[in-house]
A = this chain, B = another copy of it.
């Protein structure tokens, strides 16, 4: 089928390739002339046959809001917009309502798989009406991994359910990564273990902890033994924070995911104000020696 695709970054660019490889007609728009197929959203609308389906794959937040707002003006009644970016799920109802005022439909779709999705297919979690989901199914089928549809695609619920599911997916990802990371550090810390890299690789088949993330961890060590070249400074991109906020909203204990999130925060501090306070306190009551700033390495 025919699809308009807005945003040809790391994800959108690959998705266009994968869709075309599955014989869909994709017209892409991106502000960067070297990758775009058309010059503007209006031109994109012009190039698509009504009723149109437009997939938005741009940074969450302001850019997504602006894109959908503009699409509401260039599209027509009966068209359909899919937000495939990492929008917070609370945005979806707002976008659906905004488009509904113009008779335009909306689906939210969480997309997982990163740069590997081009080859492996993408895990897809969709929110919206049955009718709209059915309409885009050929596209979903092309994007998801080969095999059973249900192993890489879900219609998770009404508008918002797709991005909610993707947010939780990413929250889990934080926890999984940190579990492996703690294990890695514990292996490194023990002199008895002389082949940490080998231990991790030996876990990739047959063990309880085998996973795609573990495969990637081994691959990362293949490329940079002992992580000699990499700093522990680690960004976070929103979904981990939102997941913990939803845990709070729903009164769900989330000690693992929040620990993983806090570890990222800590990784970006050159010194911890909290630990300065602890150190100062110890000095006050116990006369414990403290490390002066001038002494630290």
Contacts and interface: CB of A to CB of B under 8 A. Distances in A.
Nearest to A202: B154
Contacts of A255: 178, 182, 255, 258-259, 262-263
Pick from A253, A255, A297 the residue with the most CB of B within 10 Å: A253
Interface stretch (A29-37, A49-57, A58-66, A265-273): A265-273
A258 to B, nearest CB: 5
Interface stretch (A39-47, A73-81, A108-116): A108-116
A279 B195 contact: no
A179 B260 CA distance: 10
Contacts of A265: 251-253
Nearest to A170: B208
Interface in A120-159: 120-125, 127, 144-145, 147, 150-158
Pick from A160, A182, A257, A279 the residue with the most CB of B within 10 Å: A182
Contacts of A274: 178, 181-182, 184-185, 232, 252-253, 263
A234 B278 contact: yes
Given A114-B287, A172-B183, A250-B189, A177 B232 contact: no
A204 interface: yes
A285 B192 contact: no
A101 interface: no
Secondary structure at the A interface, as helix, strand, loop or mixed, is helix
A22 interface: no
A71 B201 CA distance: 33
Interface residues of A, number: 143
Contacts of A267: 272, 275, 278-279
Contacts of A122: 206-207
Given A255-B259, A266-B253, A275-B263, A151 B201 contact: yes
A113 to B, nearest CB: 5
Nearest to A92: B192
A210 B151 CA distance: 10
A245 B203 CA distance: 22
Nearest to A120: B206
Shortest Cβ-Cβ A-B pairs, 5 listed: A175-B179, A211-B211, A232-B275, A123-B207, A154-B202
Interface of A: 10, 89, 112-117, 120-125, 127, 144-145, 147, 150-158, 160-161, 164-165, 168-190, 192-195, 198-199, 201-214, 216-217, 219-221, 224, 227-235, 237, 241, 243-248, 250-268, 270-293, 295-297
19 contacts: A125-B199, A150-B198, A156-B193, A169-B183, A169-B208, A169-B209, A175-B182, A179-B179, A179-B256, A181-B281, A230-B279, A230-B283, A231-B292, A244-B244, A244-B258, A245-B245, A255-B258, A255-B259, A263-B275
